[in-house]
Amino acid sequence: MVDGWRVDPAGVQNVLTAVSDRTITMSTALGGSEDGSVQGVDTIVQDAATAAQSQVIGEAIAGFFEHRKETLTGIQNRVRASLLGASGATQAVIDGDDEMAATTQANAVSAASNGNFSAFDGAPGAN
């Protein structure tokens, strides 16, 4: 094990669960709920643009959120990658596999940047 690493698995699990719960709230707000009971930001923006009763204002509202969509997706990717990376690296440390921990951390950095989570296929919470 790398000198200086001290991992409290229960503490890590508590933090990951809390972050995951808040991530679900954020994802629902941005994309809507799977059952359709909560509208996503796209629907809300369309409704606001229509309610403005002005083509210029409607286009401005839609344009603002369209411009921010990539940023919001990037935030979601970074949060998801952080959760998967922390979980995988913690398990690797517990298992005493420092190389696997380092690889998992590197995969998380990559997934946060490019949105490709294939390195985490099969990991808890990956799908």
Q: Is the dihedral of CA 53, 55, 57, 63 positive or negative?
A: positive
Distance CA 49, CA 125 (A): 36
List CB contacts of 123: < 8 A, sequence separation 6 or more: 84, 87, 88
> Which tens digit of pLDDT belongs to each residue from 57-111?
888 988 888 888 888 888 888 888 989 888 888 888 888 777 887 888 888 899 8
Distance CA 117, CA 9 (A): 23
> Which tens digit of pLDDT belongs to each residue from 99-111?
887 888 888 899 8
> Which tens digit of pLDDT belongs to each residue from 18-62?
998 888 887 777 777 667 776 777 788 888 888 888 889 888 988
Residue 126 tokens, joined: 């990956």
Tell me if 16 sits within 8 A of 26, measured CB to CB: no
